[in-house]
Chains A and B, each alone.
Chain A
Amino acid sequence: MAEPARAKPKPTPETQHFWDGAKAGELRLQRCDACANVYFPPRPFCPSCASRKVSVFKASGKGKLYSYVINHRPAAPGFTPPYAIAVVELDEGPRMMSNIIDCPQTPEALELDMKLEVAFQQLDDKITLPVFRPAKG
């Protein structure tokens, strides 16, 4: 029997721009044209003021480590434990779940509030996943 496959996102009409952005090497967020609220995950209206006038923009890709676990068991298909599952707070405000690459997956190396920058991990022809690495400098 084949190994269970790694979970891959399947875009919807409301999230397609985000996944198109990741494939193009951009982290895309949305901003409300009416109240300037920046939000995530994607949706075609502002969850703060309900305006449908919203714009997609390229985020800075910078953020900091808000919290995480280092998962030992059970491991998700396609992951080799121990691996960190992190929540990153983006400079623009929203937070997103992610993985931290180019960094030992240890409590010592993963310091809360450490600065991070986005990187992109290609899963297949269709899906590229935004992940984060310790910021340079």
Chain B
Amino acid sequence: MRRNQVAVVGAAETTELGVIPNMSQIQLHADAALNAIADAGLKLSDIDGIATAVETPQQIAHYLGITPTWVDGTSVGGCSFMLHVRHAAAAIEAGLCKTVLITHAESGKSMIGKLPRSTPADSLNGQFEAPYGVYGPPSMFPIPVLRFMKTHGITHEQLAMVAVVQREWAAKNPRATMKDPITVADVLNSRMIAYPFRLLQCCLVTDGGGALILTSADRAKDFPRKPVYILGTGESVETPMVSQMQTFDSSRAFKVAGPLAFKEAGIAHKDVDHLMIYDAFAHLPLYGLGDLGFMPHEETGKFIADGNTRPGGKLPLNTNGGGLSYMHSGMYGMYALQESVRQMRGIAPAQVPNAKISVCHGVGGMFAASGTIIFTNEK
């Protein structure tokens, strides 16, 4: 895909984040979509492309009253929205549509109008993982981490620092769910969830949503907000079964999606001003830093523990507080994208001064899928 041909011209989250007991899941989609459409200064009838995950495009298109000529229902977990951005950029460039709306919302906490998640007993997961007592992401996503720690010499304290540093970012963000400072001791003394991970190393469970509007870069300059250009993109999938990953020392999906995006963007790691790595659990930023090629995996724990990713550090990471402290409705990728867009617009609550390039890296399922989007505010 060519660089900077498509831009984000509308971006918004739901009016409220956290606990939203007065809205169903599709209404959360609509709330985010209407906010993004208003942000872009558009009318609903201007939207001719729609993408969403878990909920179907037909559900959201009908509820909003949109008649699309391009739809994408790619649903590969929390990074689905990174893939939507990539697919939408390609579709706009190919002339299949002009203005794409991407929505995410989940009534993750209040569970109103939320579709049930289930694992059929005759699926591969149902036969070869479910019978061993896996029960939701906390029992599955951390399974690789002890091997990762042993291979790369990562310590429990370093993994605790991931949560500590992200709370420092969250403290600067009025919309963050958790803002009180925490220490390594707080993390290591919090309730055990699935050894080696404790409560403060697991993502929040909240309600919310977000939406993006993309159009061609040529049209983008006529919109009210500063355009945020798509500089590079990547995507991949590996396996729905965490036990069947090629290795626990890294993520194959990360190692495909991340470098693809860097190659497409034509940038080096030193060019990155701002970084988001989807942190459903505390080990993900370490996998991401290594798999995206910022440094060898062995150095990732020390890099974070030494403060390089904290406010004022040389590589600001997860500046909204992340899934650990900002919010996590179940499919967090949209919120990582929103924060990258805010940083590129220069309006983030914890704004990185003069940030020009933002890398936004997502995971879907338990390392099952991945998508990477590189944004810039300079064309």
Contacts and interface: CB of A to CB of B under 8 A. Distances in A.
B194 A99 contact: no
B147 A85 contact: no
Interface string A54-79: 00000000000011111111111111
Given A66-B248, A76-B134, A129-B131, A71 B124 contact: no
Contacts of B145: 67, 69
Interface centre among B119, B140, B195 (most CB of A within 10 A): B195
B44 to A, nearest CB: 41
Nearest to B136: A74
Interface of B: 119-122, 124, 126-136, 138-140, 142-147, 150, 191-197, 241-244, 248
A24 interface: no
Contact of B150 (A72, A95, A98, A112): A112
3 closest A-B pairs by CB: A76-B135, A9-B127, A67-B147
Given A41-B244, A74-B135, A68 B127 contact: no
Q: How large is the interface on A (under 10, 10 to 19, 20 to 34, 35 or more residues)?
A: 35 or more
Given A7-B130, A66-B147, A71 B194 contact: yes
A114 interface: no
A7 B128 CA distance: 11
B127 A15 contact: yes
Contact of A7 (B131, B138, B242, B243): B131
A87 B367 CA distance: 15
Contacts of B131: 6-9, 123, 129
* B contacts with A: majority SS: mixed
Interface centre among B138, B139, B242 (most CB of A within 10 A): B139
Contacts of B243: 87, 95-97
* A contacts with B: majority SS: loop
A46 to B, nearest CB: 15
B149 to A, nearest CB: 9
A73 B193 contact: yes
B126 A87 contact: no
A95 B247 CA distance: 10
A72 B127 contact: no
Contacts of B122: 9-12
Nearest to B144: A67
A9 B121 CA distance: 5
A98 B132 contact: yes
A12 B142 CA distance: 29
A77 B138 CA distance: 15
B241 to A, nearest CB: 8
Contacts of A8: 121, 131
A107 interface: yes
B136 A107 contact: no
Given A11-B122, A68-B146, A82 B195 contact: yes
Contacts of A6: 131
Given A67-B147, A85-B194, 14 more contacts: A6-B131, A9-B126, A15-B127, A69-B139, A69-B146, A73-B191, A76-B134, A82-B195, A85-B133, A87-B143, A87-B248, A97-B241, A98-B132, A112-B150
Given A69-B143, A69-B195, A87-B243, A97 B121 contact: no
A7 B195 contact: no
A86 B195 CA distance: 12
A114 to B, nearest CB: 12
A53 to B, nearest CB: 22
A107 B194 CA distance: 11
A6 B124 CA distance: 16
A94 B140 CA distance: 19
A132 B192 CA distance: 24
A41 B124 contact: yes
Contacts of B242: 87, 97
Given A66-B248, A67-B145, A69-B143, A10 B126 contact: yes
Nearest to A94: B244
Contacts of A19: 127
